[in-house]
A and B are shown apart, each in its own frame.
Chain A
Amino acid sequence: MPEITVERLSKSFGQEQALKNISFSVHDKEFLTLLGPSGCGKTTTLMSIAGFQRPDEGLISCGDRTFFDRAAKVYLKAEDRNLGMVFQSYAIWPHLTVFGNVAFPLRIRRMKKDALRRRVLETLDLVEMGDYARRYPHELSGGQQQRVALARALVYAPAVLLLDEPFSNLDAKLRERARTWLKHLQAELGLTTLFVTHDQDEALSLSDRIVVMDEGSVLQIGTPEDIYRRPATRFVAEFLGHCNILPARVATATSSGTTGLVLHGNGKPITLSGGDRAAGDEVQLAVRPEAVELTSDESASGENTYRAELRSVSFLGDHYVYELGIDGLALTVTDTRLFVGPAVTVRIPPSACRVLPS
């Protein structure tokens, strides 16, 4: 059963520590994404699993095979790891036809000619490139080249598929199509997939689980919903979509499932559900713009309901983005309906607030 396990992985380049004690695992048939800004260590992690980087510490295994174990001094060479990989630049060989590129891994494995031919054509059909077998890479579009790269990675039925920002060279429209298509294929074939990207939309839409990384550390591991709705740190909250970060102080300690706080920006009280805080704690609240409710009803009142000055509106096709001020505290809110100023009523649902460690 192919399952990638990474434990306590560390790696330094000179003075700089690229990976600090990274641990996670990719389950069988799972689509796991390493998400983070450039320089966060996601590519170093991927390259360590592929066998192009040798970590300083830790353990990497795939099913019952150990790729790397510092303690036991095990290091399996990249060519013996039997992984499939799609590179950012696709890295298909310009001197070989589409068929030649996809046949290459099988030729290395000395597969018989007839079986090889059948297998290559099957795989090309799978990525919908069957009609292009005789073409050379320069005769293909970016999207087609990417499919060839994917076919080459899949042709020998590798234990795990590694994808290194494979969509970054495609234009926006094509990227969306390629994404849907890949997700479909991955689910259909039950491929165990490790995906690396800095694009939060890609990560959210494709992944079963996401590992958010920054500065060589894992910040949070969870399902897309988990990561988006319950970010563990301010970095995670802000990296995935827009998020209002509101500094506050706990006024009444958590009891019977609610906590009372005072916002630093304007001194207004705010209540949130959950939390486990003592009075006097300094915290940061994370509030997603789309979780905030807007109404033009001036008389509306109740908990977490405020009058707000409408500072600006921008129209983004399927929704509006409002920049509001609640007695000087800036808040970004999105809504599908149009409100006109000068003031609106805002309600921040207690369940929409998430307490981040200060």
Chain B
Amino acid sequence: MTDVSTILQAAPARPGPGPQPRRGRLGISPLTPVTYLAALLLVGVTVVPLLFVFVDGFKTNAQINSSATALPHPWDTRNYTQMLTSAAFWQPLENSAVIAAIATVLVVVLGAMAAFALSRYAFPGREGLFLLFAVGLLFPINAAALPLYLMLDKLGLLDNPLGVALPEAAFGLPITIVILRPFMREIPGELEDAAVVDGATRIGFFLRILLPLSRPALVTVAVLAFVQSWNQYLIPLLVFTSQQRFTLPLAVANFQTQYAQNTASILAFTALSMLPALGCFIFAQRHLVGGFTGAVKG
């Protein structure tokens, strides 16, 4: 099946032999160098430190202590192989994955349903309800820490993966609805009328037409929710007491305090713990672009 996002993007402007925007001989406009410079600066600030984490993981502690910025000489893979063969890495990875999966599924399913109702049903109080969801964006998770802890205690969800996944899903819903609602709203009403005239109920329209058409936006919110959950530190810290339930950020922090002198191993662990979220982002990158810009033309 051809990718939906490309179809949606291609739909308004059919490729034709029409005139292309005027560019220089190499297709470079005078502004291009400036754009590149800005991009390079941004990459320097955000990516280079992360790159050091990866690269320094290939050094021994002695190498790091003599020069933190030089390339490893020789490249030493022992830090990574030790990590990859240790339960200290795989157990938290599994914990993180389970929690992120639950949180993501909840966010996408509930978010899509809420956005559907808020975008395509007319009912009194709709805008107020939407505002209520949007206000959730302004509500810092730290402020909720204490009441959340007490609530989870009452519910018996302390030291339980659900005690982490449920609050994460709750905190992920506002941004999900804020992204999905305008997207679903843009889908022309005639597409819905056509489905109804053909015999589809509202739920049928939601499942068979609206959800597939919203795929770029759904992938966007799914990736956001997954990465949010993956990097979440405070909630698992509050909830978990037993080490075998720790998620990756907790395990890395724990490892840091336990082996404070072993910088190289800490860097290797950190690097490995970032990989899944990074992979998720790269996988979804095409859709992310579509999700932020994609409007559906009928």
Contacts and interface: CB of A to CB of B under 8 A. Distances in A.
B199 A91 contact: no
B4 A108 contact: no
A79 B196 contact: yes
A78 B213 contact: no
A52 B196 CA distance: 9
B297 A79 contact: no
Interface in A62-88: 78-85, 87-88
A85 B195 CA distance: 10
A91 B296 CA distance: 12
Contacts of A26: none
A167 interface: no
Given A87-B190, A91-B191, A138-B7, A152 B198 contact: yes
A254 to B, nearest CB: 51
Contacts of B296: 94
B209 A138 contact: no
Interface in B1-56: 2, 4, 7-8, 10-11, 14
B201 interface: yes
| A contact residues, range | 20 to 34
A239 interface: no
A337 interface: no
Contact of A95 (B4, B195, B197): B4
What does DSSP make chain B's interface, helix, strand, loop or mixed?
Answer: helix
Given A94-B7, A136-B2, A104 B198 contact: yes
A191 interface: no
A104 B212 contact: no
B14 A138 contact: yes
Contact of A89 (B2, B188, B195): B188
A153 B194 CA distance: 9
Given A104-B208, A137-B11, A138-B11, A91 B298 contact: yes
B193 interface: yes
Contacts of A92: 194, 298
B276 interface: no
A79 B191 contact: no
A104 B71 CA distance: 60
A51 B199 CA distance: 12
Contacts of B182: none
Across the A-B interface, give the 5 residue pairs with the lowest CB-CB distance, nearest first: A91-B194, A105-B198, A91-B190, A138-B11, A108-B199
Given A85-B193, A94-B8, A95-B8, 8 more contacts: A78-B193, A89-B190, A91-B191, A91-B193, A92-B298, A107-B208, A108-B199, A138-B10
Interface of B: 2, 4, 7-8, 10-11, 14, 188, 190-191, 193-201, 204, 208-209, 212-213, 215, 296-298
